[in-house]
């Protein structure tokens, strides 16, 4: 596998969509669909292929393209359209005449509504294509229940109805048809039902859903539980049904869609070509920004180039904004809602994904360039005077005021520099006082860095809100560094960024690289601090009374415990016994234990008798 394919494979997204394999002549030789593009495409390269034809195909693959969509069903539709358009050599199983079903409202008196796989140019109204036959059958059954229409093949006309050529059938008796063939329903009333059905097929299902729900509740109130259960099932089907799939309006025919996506140094333009509501072509180009060209001009250049490359003569072009060009007999549409807006959003999603993939490829080739780009983004987002190559983040940790400590995490070129991490035992603060602890920590840190002439950071991040930030700013003022080092605080609740002397926080995009870097700094400082705090707390919990005696070291303590087995027995031992174990001087030191040592001496028998008499 060549390096270009490896780079593409490393950046394929996890979205559903369609993938295309191309040979050395840039010809599409295979098109497939996937619920997860990354997993599916990787499976061709990460496992042994048994099928000989697949082995031959994979040896010819020189490039991979893909289009991302919203759902797996949309991937089915897109694959069907692309295969019919490009006719890839190795899509043998999909080169038959089978196509997805449509719902047709026939262009005839008293129109019929039924399922079809043949889309004819007969001025009838076609809706679809639909990826699920079962779903559309349920919908049609539901529609004909709510709005009874005929399903017969009678050639109805005013003359034939007036001559009473037809008789009512079983559908009339079971209330599935109102017998327009026998003149019992007017054409105007019938066409109202057809109009309502067409609105539902276009996706306006709310009215129908509300009607079924009201009828269901009415049946329930009248104790007609069987009918209510039947309506509940239909209501559930209708709620689960999405009448408009991604490629759902065949009236959108021969239309181009262009989306515009800004990058740091480039612009990405995605192109989709729509034929009868289906995507048949998709491509993304990248333009390097040389000057400050307006986006209208860049989009116009992309439209001309891509339409020329693919030979498009579409009379309608869907765009996110008006481009700076004029084309003969071409209308530019900037949609705000509806099917055209959905197609524009799909095009934007592909342009955005292409930008992300290109950025991932560039980052893998040059990690230093990635770090520089991220730090430049931080500088711009936080309005810093210089790029924050060296960033330090501080956090406090204590348990109800006990064992207070602080930590400092250091990032160099957007990466952790763990050898520079520091932790601090708080010495001057009593009780849970985060503000004073923060003041002490930063004062000690930067006073020492100044004394030792160490390089100072360009940015200091404080884990906390206004109070902690104010204390940290006072600490910088105390050592003469306020204004020379940029300082910010990040609050946990809404991840808002605070600046000194500014009460209004900055809210960054949750997906921005700046916020992600600051969050990573904050998490590292918290992890490092809490680990040190736990270690200190654990050590305090295992302190022995022997540790409080000055002059008793570790070796002496181990010797005592080995000899007497416990502190209690050490307290009960006589001076002679202690001196025999550790010497006379250290035996005297042991008198300093908090619980006085009780030494039992044997009394003479005469005194014992006197004691017993008194008791």
Phi and psi at residue 386, in whole multiples of 5°?
A: -140, 165
What would the mean pLDDT of 522-526 be, rounded to a whole number?
Answer: 88
Enclosing H/E stretch for 269: strand 266-275
Per-residue pLDDT, 457 = 92
Distance CA 345, CA 342 (A): 5
Least confident of 13-17, 216-220, 221-225, 502-506: 502-506
CA distances from 402 to 259, 385, 433, 539, 566 (A): 58, 39, 11, 13, 28
Reading the block at residue 564, the tokens are 């007497």
Q: 321 vs 398, which has greater pLDDT?
A: 321
Rounded CA separation 351/284 (Å): 6
Res. 604: pLDDT tops 60: no
- pTM higher than the cut 0.85: no
pLDDT of 256-269, one tens digit each?
999 999 876 788 99
pLDDT band of 241, cuts 50, 70, 90: low
d(CA 486, CA 456): 11
- 600 pLDDT more than 70: no
For residue 536, what pLDDT band results from cuts at 50, 70 and 90?
A: low
Domain 3-94, classified CATH 3.30.420.40, yes or no: no
Q: Which pLDDT band holds residue 432 (cuts at 50, 70, 90)?
A: confident
At residue 87 the predicted structure's pLDDT band, cuts being 50, 70 and 90, is confident
Q: What CATH architecture applies to the domain 255-362?
A: 2-Layer Sandwich (3.30)
State which of 2-6, 201-205, 260-264, 569-573 shows the largest mean pLDDT: 260-264
Please report, for the chain, the start and end positions of each structural domain, with discontinuous segments joined by +.
3-94, 102-205, 255-362, 376-539
More confident residue, 605 or 130: 130
Per-residue pLDDT at 390: 93
Alpha helices in 425-465 (DSSP H): 434-451
Closest CA to 559 of 539, 580, 584, 543: 580
Beta bridge partners of 28: 22
User: 376-539: same fold as 3-94?
Assistant: no
pLDDT one-digit tens code per residue, 439-497: 888 998 999 999 888 889 999 999 888 888 899 999 999 888 888 889 999 887 788 89
Task: Give the residue carrying structure tokens 């394929």.
Answer: 12
pLDDT at 599 exceeding the cut of 80: no
Contacts (Cβ under 8 Å, ≥6 apart) of 520: 411
CATH number belonging to domain 376-539: 3.30.420.340
Confidence of residue 128 (pLDDT cuts 50, 70, 90): low
pLDDT computed for residue 316 by the predictor:
92
Please give the mean pLDDT across all residues of the chain: 80
């Amino acid at each position: 596998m060549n390096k270009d394919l490896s780079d593409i494979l490393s950046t394929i997204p996890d979205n559903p969509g369609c993938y295309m394999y191309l040979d050395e002549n840039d010809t599409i030789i295979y098109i497939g669909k996937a619920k997860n593009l990354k997993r599916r495409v990787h499976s061709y390269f990460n496992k042994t292929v048994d099928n000989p034809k697949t082995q031959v195909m994979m040896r010819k693959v020189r490039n991979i393209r893909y289009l991302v969509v919203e759902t797996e069903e949309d991937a089915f539709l897109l694959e069907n359209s692309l295969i019919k358009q490009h006719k890839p050599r190795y899509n043998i199983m999909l080169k038959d005449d089978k196509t997805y079903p449509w719902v047709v409202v026939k262009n005839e008196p008293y129109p019929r509504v039924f399922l079809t796989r043949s889309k004819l140019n007969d001025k009838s109204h076609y809706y679809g294509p639909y990826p699920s036959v079962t779903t559309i059958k349920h919908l049609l059954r539901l529609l004909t229940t709510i709005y009874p229409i005929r399903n017969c093949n009678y050639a109805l006309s005013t003359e034939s109805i007036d001559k009473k050529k037809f008789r009512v059938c079983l559908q009339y008796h079971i209330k599935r048809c109102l017998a327009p063939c026998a003149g019992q329903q007017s054409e105007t009333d019938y066409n109202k039902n057809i109009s309502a059905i067409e609105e539902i097929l276009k996706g306006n299902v709310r009215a129908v859903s509300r009607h079924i729900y009201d009828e269901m509740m009415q049946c329930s109130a009248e104790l007609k539980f069987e009918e209510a259960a039947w309506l509940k099932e239909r209501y559930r089907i209708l709620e689960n049904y999405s009448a408009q799939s991604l490629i759902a309006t065949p009236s959108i025919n021969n239309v181009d869609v262009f989306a515009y996506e800004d990058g740091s140094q480039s612009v990405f333009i995605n192109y989709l070509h729509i034929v009868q509501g289906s995507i048949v072509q998709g491509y993304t180009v990248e333009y390097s920004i040389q000057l400050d060209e307006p986006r209208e001009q860049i989009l116009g250049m992309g439209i001309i180039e891509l339409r020329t490359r693919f030979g498009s003569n579409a009379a309608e072009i869907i765009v996110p904004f008006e481009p700076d060009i004029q084309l003969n007999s071409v209308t530019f549409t900037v949609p705000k809602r509806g099917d055209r807006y959905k197609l524009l959003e799909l095009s934007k999603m592909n342009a955005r994904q292409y930008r992300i993939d290109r950025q991932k490829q560039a980052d893998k080739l040059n990690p230093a360039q990635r770090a520089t780009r991220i730090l430049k983004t931080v500088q711009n987002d936080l309005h810093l005077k210089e790029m924050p190559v060296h960033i330090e983040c501080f956090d406090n940790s204590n348990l109800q005021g006990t064992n207070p400590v602080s930590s400092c995490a250091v990032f160099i070129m957007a990466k952790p520099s763990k050898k520079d991490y520091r932790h601090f035992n708080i010495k001057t603060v009593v009780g849970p006082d985060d503000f004073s602890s923060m003041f002490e920590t930063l004062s000690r840190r930067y006073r020492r860095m100044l004394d030792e002439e160490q390089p100072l950071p360009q940015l200091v991040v404080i884990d906390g809100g206004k109070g902690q930030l104010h204390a940290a700013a006072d600490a910088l003022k105390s050592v003469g560094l306020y204004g020379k080092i940029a300082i910010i605080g990040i609050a946990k609740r809404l991840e808002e960024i605070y600046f000194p002397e500014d009460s209004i926080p900055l809210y960054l995009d949750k997906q921005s690289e700046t916020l992600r870097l600051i969050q990573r700094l904050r998490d590292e400082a918290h992890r490092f601090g809490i680990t040190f705090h736990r270690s200190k707390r654990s050590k305090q919990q295992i302190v022995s009374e022997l540790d409080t005696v000055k002059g008793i070291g570790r070796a002496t303590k181990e010797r005592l415990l080995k000899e007497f087995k416990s502190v209690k027995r050490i307290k009960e031992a006589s001076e002679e016994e202690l001196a025999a174990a550790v010497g006379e001087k250290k035996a005297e030191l042991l008198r300093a234990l908090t619980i006085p040592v009780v030494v039992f001496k044997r009394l003479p028998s005469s005194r014992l008798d006197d004691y017993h008499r008194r008791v």
